[in-house]
Amino acid sequence: MKICKVVKTLVSTNRIKEMGHRPLQVVQEKNGLLSVAVDAVGCIPGDWVIAVGSSAARDAAGSREYPSDLTIVGIIDYWEEEQ
């Protein structure tokens, strides 16, 4: 699992059919790395979230066939970013 901050919503209208219409978010890890994550919980920019990768990401997105390697599975209610 990773702790990330949601930066912004990503809009992609041309997708392969397996992706369906699940929302996507741009997330940033503490080291500054930006990634695209499937949003399974309905977060908004500015939220700190828990994200999972690998086969857990596909399961969390709804199907082992879903082409995700990062899925948001929780919104963190309280988090103090380390300085």
The pLDDT tens digits of the residues spanning 40-60 come to 999 999 999 999 988 788 778
Quote the tokens at residue 10. Answer: 């990503």
Pairing outcome for strands 48-53 and 24-28: unpaired
- Give the domains, in start order, of the chain with CATH numbers: 2-75 (2.40.50.220)
Q: pLDDT tens across 26-38, in order? A: 999 989 999 999 9
Please tell me the distance from the alpha carbon of residue 44 to that of residue 54, in angstroms, as a whole number. 23
pTM: 0.86
2 pLDDT above the threshold of 80: yes
pLDDT at position 48 is: 95
Sign of the Cα pseudo-torsion (54, 55, 60, 64, in order): positive
Q: Examine the pLDDT at 70 and tell me if it is beyond 80.
A: yes
